[in-house]
Structure 1
Amino acid sequence: MKKEKKKKNNKKPNVLEKFKNHKFLHAMIYVVLAIIIYAALFSNVKPETLDIEPFTPSKETIYAPTTVVDKEETERKKKEAYDSVEDQYVLDKNISEDQVNLISSIFDAIIEVRKEGANTETSDKEETILTPEEKVNRLVNEKLTDTINEKIPKETFLPLMSASDEDVTLAKNAVVTAVNNAMSKEIPIVQLTEAKNQVEEELKSYSLKKDVLQSSITLARFAIAQNYFLDLDATNQKRQQASEEVKEVQIKQGQIIVDEGELISREVYRKLGLVGLLDDQISYKPFIGLGILVLLIITGIIYFFEKKDNKIKNNSLLLYCFIFTITLLLMKILSLFQKIDYNHIGYIVPVAMGAMLVKLLLNERIAFLTSMIFAICGSIIFNEGVTGSFNFSVGVYYLFACLVGILFLGDHNLRSKILQAGLFVSIMNCLVLLAILLIRNGSYTNVEIGTYFIMACVSGLVASVLTIGFMPFFETGFGILSTMKLIELSNPNHPLLRKILTETPGTYHHSVMVANLSESACEAIGADGLLARVGAYYHDIGKTKRPQYFIENQMNIENPHNKLSPQLSKNIIIAHVTDGVDMLKKHKMPKEFIDIAEQHHGTSLLKYFYHQAKQTNDSIYEEEFRYPGPKPQTKEIAIISIADSVEAAVRSMSNPTPDKIEKLVRSIIADRLQDHQLDECDLTLKELDIIAKSFCESLKGIFHSRIEYPELTKKQKVKQS
């Protein structure tokens, strides 16, 4: 008998269940989702290639798909900068001083020879006066260098030897002054003749005799020399510096290379080739980069879905894949309008729909991650025709729309709340769009601004409408028990709840009490309190088939079990589990409710009927008086199971006090542990202690002591007298 029961409880799951829970299915879904994302973004990162010929009009406006360095143009600009630097010259002041000293020394030599020629002694002590020609010869032979003699004719000195001392002195001063004035300025080689002519003109302004003036001019022109020289080192340094200061010429991503109708010149054709629009071989870098991005996105999704403490069920991953694909498909379809000059069509996409559906049907944390993913994908898909670029405006717009939709929904997942969330998303879309337009600081017509805000409003409202429209399909198709669905099922007007209320009012009251206890205990340990509450409403639905056999429904009638054998009574009591499962399946209730109805008694023992049968037949096996199970598989079902026993036991107490309640609660939990009824759920001892405290707090509030009203007591005494 024991072996047969064990075999029954350890029934192997069927092939379909095994496949649904197999890790391979998860891996396959992740791969499919990665392929979908990659395929959606592929065309937006694929480098374009154009079939165009030079010297023909462009059929369209062509934008640079990527940022590249134009090395040829950079080198040309560097050469222009190098060549534009003028030669660098340096003024040699030493030459200026030397030339002034030179001309002054020549005149000093002339004056010295003049003095010597006027007072010359012979060998016989007689004085001899030299002729001007002899003075010139002495000057040339004894006083001047060969270099000077080669450049200045002897005849130049003759007028100066014949002139008076005053004329010579005047000539010296005039020549030295003129040479000094000229040499103090910059005299490059090309301006040497000009400088000599200026000296000559300056000397003509002095009152010099004609022959002395001519000699002075010759000497002055001789003294003028180049003092401004080309500095090759400085010139090369300046040119190199100018060349290095030239920044790299870049063709920016999104930059217009040629407008529609403009002639494709040789230079334009060269730039088209430079950015890869003429290449026969497409670069694989964008595809590798997209693969890395998709890998990061899938890694984030895997992290959320495969966490050990994740409460999302297996088929939820497939649901997530559907929601993600639908949202991405909407983006992709609307992005096609970019090709007909609707570059800002991305603002109308109801992207908040995807985030709100994920939040309502799955989990808020995964919804936040999905919001970021939608923002990234949207910024690539709506890149305004520039392949490989990111439209950060659309990305920010999508991120705010999704986050606002998620946050505004909060925990109140009613259908009216979804519409309100859509309206709030529309308002936030308008504010974000206004911020984007102001930051861009562009000029927009009233029509453009109006179009932007209409798209922003439509995006939010359509997102809420689509969310409400998709919810029933996803809930039914994937068996998702959303918060909204739970709230609907908790309505007392539901046919099954009305059936319990009208046919088994005692069971209904018991179920409500169990629901209250279960919800508070689940919330205390972080389990799903709403699921426990609503599931508890239906956990005893099977009692409606034979209501009079359950003590809470026996009002003013004899207990039918008094006339039945323990075995028959046991069968009737146990049958409420299978009857409840059948009724819930017939009404197509969520699987979670069916599990609660099936597992809330686990394999526990009907002690009363077992001991009653044992008194008459000692060979009775304990397993015959146990529920068929299975044992509770989740925290929520385990808590409902304990609450079911606790509520019934406390209600049967004659005078419940806080101490008695706590003692009873902990004894029931200990009994469940000893009977191994909690072995297959993941409740910890610490959580069981928290559950016990929660039950005690709730029960103390329900079974608190009441005061006796004086007026009522007085009336009763008067009536008795």
Structure 2
Amino acid sequence: MSDFVNKLYKNQALFYKVFLFVLTSVLIVYLLPKGGKFKYDIPKGKPWQYESLYAPFDFAILKTDEEIAEEKSEITDTHIPYYDFNSDIAERVGEDALVEVHNVFPDSTLNVYETIIDNFVSKTVSEVYEFGLLQESNRLEPDQLIYLLKGNEASEVSYKKILKQGEIRDFLSQKIDRAGFSSFKTELLEVFFNSIEPNVIFNNDLTQNELNSKLNNISYTRGIIEQGSRIIAKGEVVEGNKYNILRSLKNEYESQIWSQTNYNWIIIGYSILVALALLMLLLFMRKYRIEIFENNVKVTFIFFNIIFMVMLTTLVVNFNIDYVYIVPLCILPLSLKAFFDARLGLFTHVITVLLLGFIVPNSYEYMFLQIIAGIVTILTVSELYKRANLFISVGQITLVYIISYVAFTIIQEGNIDDVKVEIFITFLLGGLATLFVQPLIYVYEKIFGMVSDMSLLELSDTNSKLLKELAEKAPGTFHHSLNVANLAEAAANEINANAMLARVGALYHDIGKMRNPTYFTENQTTSVNSHDELSPIESTQIIIDHVISGIEIAKKNNLPDRVIDFIRTHHGTSTVYYFYMKEKENNDNINADNFRYPGPIPFSKETAILMMCDSVEAASKSLKEPTSQLIDNFVEKIVDKQMEEGQFLNSNITFKEIQIIKKILKRKLKNIYHLRVEYPE
């Protein structure tokens, strides 16, 4: 039992990766659509390359989007609106008009013409309200039909038969003139205007409900293809009705309700493909990025990003497929490049795009656009912490999307007229969303405890609290750190290592000397040496302790682990040689391990660069009269000694790169000491 527990403990990192692999696969499969996958691509405008295709079952032919839009437009244009006719108003106006006659006309006129005037007014009011009076202006064509609602009855009436309020004056004037009442025109108009009011109102609710009912009853299919019927023959061009039938078959196939057995087989198929894709990613990391593979936090971060992109794309596709390109998929390679490297970022991006091919329609077009965009992202963004670079890269990514989309449209439609401008807007929105990568990287740093180049840029500021404290307490050490940082940055640039990381590591590598600054020669301002009163073993312990103190100070100030690694490894397992030799003068029987730094030795190119630069820069202060030849021999001696001690065995640095670093150190030291070319006498 104890052996099993020990084995479990030793392999806990591997078990975690297996758990993470299974969990990620399950989540992605859960998010994928569970319908069947149509096994043919439909190449519009091109010959059918597969065998002759026969209908596997009965299915309806779907109408095209253009046909449905045209049908909806026709229904909307020919739809008859509803108007309410208020009979109570018509009756009341008739009564009010007769009362107004007596109010407007003088008694002398009424004594003679009362009956004639009353009859004319009653008849005219009846004619006005035969089809009703409408307050609105002419909003419809004169010959258009409307439904006039009187109570529960609706009658079809021509729109021009209904009087509009703007027409009532002319209508009444003509009636008065024709009846021979021109002499009473002013009084009669006053009577009518004092009593007549609109009684026909547009019924928006009923009209809209009726229109929606008609639109909802539109059939989205036309005709049926029977099982066994030949759909298309090999070599036949996919266009027109053939294309619509194939599209209908694909839609029917993918939307079928599958039996439990079919469903289980689909899940198994998806699981195999998703697991295979993720396995390729793990194998890539194990072969080419072993330091990332062995770090469970970093593997978790990569898998989290894949799940995040799959989930985000699924949500957008379920909401509206037209917005699929708004998803800023290029954030994935940008994020991974910021924390790791371009090759891993691109490989992960391609794997993610392959998985998303199961979710989106027109998967080949989608995958082509996204893979090309990912390649452009990797090629164009060199220094993410520079805001201008990010904006330029986003512009280039958006341009590539647009160009690729236009090219696909030309291939599929045979002309450029069918390019949809609204798709360009989704590309622009997706580009703008990609700018969110900078705050997202900051969030990732806090959650996963990693460090990006943007954080390194902030840490490289010599006005930061910790570096200002170093400059105040140990000015000599601070000056030494600046020199080492310049050397390390130049060397890292030459061998394509992370120059920003090397510079930041160099700036902070000696912060432990703040605890006892006067015990280090660069901070001694007088001829008094603090080590004179100490034994060599005590002096050695103080010197070695600056590494431990540096780690404590760094953790207290929340420096990233990648920076603390420089503090840990910048002396490796080397010996404090001066005090070792001093002790050896008095005692031949000494343990060299008491004078050795605890390590570990450098385990990256950047930490190896720091060890070389730190040793060379510190020792160069002992040169009395430096010459070009002396500096060359001096650098060779120090670096070769570190190589002999095996300090670079774990740092993945080559002999060629070490030689390049030596050349950089020699040149920089000669510049520091302002050495000129030695001319022959």
Please confirm whether the aligned pair reaches a TM-score higher than 0.5, indicating the same fold.
yes
Pick from 321, 324, 332 the counterpart of residue 354 of structure 1. Answer: 332
Change (3 A) 1:599 1:60: farther
> Contact 2:492/2:606 (CA < 8 Å) preserved in 1?
yes
Aligned residue number for residue 413 of structure 1 = 385
Asked whether 1:457 is paired with 2:428, we answer yes
- Offset of 1:53 from its aligned partner? 13
Between the aligned partners of 2:235 and 2:380, the Cα distance in structure 1 is: 54
Q: After the TM superposition, which of the residue ranges 590-599 and 614-623 deviates more from structure 2? A: 614-623
Aligned residue number for residue 228 of structure 2 = 72
Asked whether 1:334 is paired with 2:316, we answer yes
Aligned residue number for residue 347 of structure 2 = 369
Aligned residue number for residue 640 of structure 2 = 670
Pick from 556, 559, 563 the counterpart of residue 589 of structure 1. Answer: 559
Between the aligned partners of 1:419 and 1:525, the Cα distance in structure 2 is: 28
> Contact 1:44/1:381 (CA < 8 Å) preserved in 2?
no
Change (3 A) 1:329 1:563: same
Aligned residue number for residue 399 of structure 1 = 371
Change (3 A) 1:322 1:458: same
> Contact 2:274/2:355 (CA < 8 Å) preserved in 1?
no
Asked whether 1:256 is paired with 2:228, we answer no
Change (3 A) 1:62 1:299: farther
Aligned residue number for residue 208 of structure 1 = none
User: Residue 435 of structure 2: SS of its match in structure 1?
Assistant: helix
- Offset of 1:335 from its aligned partner? 0.9
Asked whether 1:608 is paired with 2:575, we answer no
Aligned residue number for residue 429 of structure 1 = 401
Asked whether 1:574 is paired with 2:544, we answer yes
Pick from 28, 31, 40 the counterpart of residue 22 of structure 2. Answer: 31
- Offset of 1:541 from its aligned partner? 0.7
Q: After the TM superposition, which of the residue ranges 281-290 and 662-671 deviates more from structure 2? A: 281-290
- Offset of 1:526 from its aligned partner? 4.8
Change (3 A) 1:286 1:639: same
Q: Which amino acid aligns with 2:298?
A: S
- Offset of 1:17 from its aligned partner? 10
Aligned residue number for residue 89 of structure 1 = none
> Contact 2:330/2:374 (CA < 8 Å) preserved in 1?
yes
Aligned residue number for residue 41 of structure 1 = 32
Change (3 A) 1:511 1:282: same
> Contact 1:62/1:257 (CA < 8 Å) preserved in 2?
no
- Give percent identity, aligned residues only: 31
Aligned residue number for residue 545 of structure 1 = 515
- Offset of 1:491 from its aligned partner? 1.7
Structure 1 vs Structure 2 CA RMSD: 4.4
Q: How does 1:473-512 map to 2 (within 5 A)?
A: 473-512=443-482
Between the aligned partners of 2:415 and 2:367, the Cα distance in structure 1 is: 22
Change (3 A) 1:403 1:629: closer
TM-score calculated relative to the size of structure 1: 0.60
Q: Return 5+ residue gaps in structure 2 as ranges.
A: 1-5, 39-57, 61-215
User: Residue 307 of structure 1: SS of its match in structure 2?
Assistant: helix
Paired residue total? 496
Q: Deviations over 1:471-510 (max 9, x none)?
A: 1121222222222222221122222222223332321221
Between the aligned partners of 2:328 and 2:417, the Cα distance in structure 1 is: 25
- Offset of 1:511 from its aligned partner? 1.5
Q: Which amino acid aligns with 2:533?
A: K
Asked whether 1:470 is paired with 2:440, we answer yes
Q: After the TM superposition, which of the residue ranges 639-648 and 510-519 deviates more from structure 2? A: 510-519
Change (3 A) 1:410 1:680: closer
Change (3 A) 1:652 1:369: same
> Contact 2:576/2:595 (CA < 8 Å) preserved in 1?
yes
Q: Deviations over 1:381-421 (max 9, x none)?
A: 222xxxxxx43333333334333333331234334533443
- Offset of 1:440 from its aligned partner? 4.2
User: Residue 487 of structure 2: SS of its match in structure 1?
Assistant: helix
Aligned residue number for residue 282 of structure 1 = 262
- Offset of 1:585 from its aligned partner? 0.7
Between the aligned partners of 2:647 and 2:366, the Cα distance in structure 1 is: 55
Pick from 531, 534, 547 the counterpart of residue 561 of structure 1. Answer: 531
Q: After the TM superposition, which of the residue ranges 542-551 and 250-259 deviates more from structure 2? A: 250-259
> Contact 1:58/1:258 (CA < 8 Å) preserved in 2?
no
Q: After the TM superposition, which of the residue ranges 290-299 and 311-320 deviates more from structure 2? A: 290-299
Q: How does 1:76-225 map to 2 (within 5 A)?
A: none
Between the aligned partners of 1:559 and 1:283, the Cα distance in structure 2 is: 81
> Contact 1:372/1:399 (CA < 8 Å) preserved in 2?
yes
> Contact 2:59/2:226 (CA < 8 Å) preserved in 1?
no
Between the aligned partners of 2:615 and 2:625, the Cα distance in structure 1 is: 18
Aligned residue number for residue 297 of structure 1 = 277
Q: How does 1:376-395 map to 2 (within 5 A)?
A: 376-383=354-361, 390-395=362-367
Q: Return 5+ residue gaps in structure 1 as ranges.
A: 1-13, 79-243, 260-271, 384-389, 709-721
> Contact 1:62/1:256 (CA < 8 Å) preserved in 2?
no
Between the aligned partners of 1:274 and 1:521, the Cα distance in structure 2 is: 58
> Contact 2:384/2:390 (CA < 8 Å) preserved in 1?
no
Aligned residue number for residue 634 of structure 1 = 604
- Offset of 1:531 from its aligned partner? 2.0
Aligned residue number for residue 693 of structure 1 = 663
Q: Which amino acid aligns with 2:262?
A: I
Between the aligned partners of 2:9 and 2:386, the Cα distance in structure 1 is: 32
User: Residue 624 of structure 1: SS of its match in structure 2?
Assistant: helix
User: Residue 43 of structure 1: SS of its match in structure 2?
Assistant: coil
Between the aligned partners of 2:298 and 2:562, the Cα distance in structure 1 is: 14
Q: Which amino acid aligns with 1:582?
A: E
Change (3 A) 1:619 1:670: same
Change (3 A) 1:26 1:343: closer
Aligned residue number for residue 152 of structure 2 = none
Q: Deviations over 1:85-105 (max 9, x none)?
A: xxxxxxxxxxxxxxxxxxxxx
Between the aligned partners of 2:275 and 2:652, the Cα distance in structure 1 is: 33
User: Residue 575 of structure 2: SS of its match in structure 1?
Assistant: coil
Q: After the TM superposition, which of the residue ranges 435-444 and 367-376 deviates more from structure 2? A: 435-444
Between the aligned partners of 1:17 and 1:504, the Cα distance in structure 2 is: 44
Between the aligned partners of 2:560 and 2:359, the Cα distance in structure 1 is: 39
Q: Deviations over 1:32-88 (max 9, x none)?
A: 3333333332435469xxxx999xx99985799xxxx9763249x99xxxxxxxxxx
Change (3 A) 1:439 1:564: same
Change (3 A) 1:350 1:638: closer
Q: Which amino acid aligns with 2:401?
A: N
Q: After the TM superposition, which of the residue ranges 508-517 and 393-402 deviates more from structure 2? A: 393-402
Change (3 A) 1:457 1:543: same
TM-score calculated relative to the size of structure 2: 0.63
Q: Deviations over 1:606-649 (max 9, x none)?
A: 22223333444555433322223233333332332222111122
> Contact 2:317/2:323 (CA < 8 Å) preserved in 1?
yes
Q: Which amino acid aligns with 1:360?
A: A
Change (3 A) 1:354 1:508: same
Change (3 A) 1:473 1:610: same
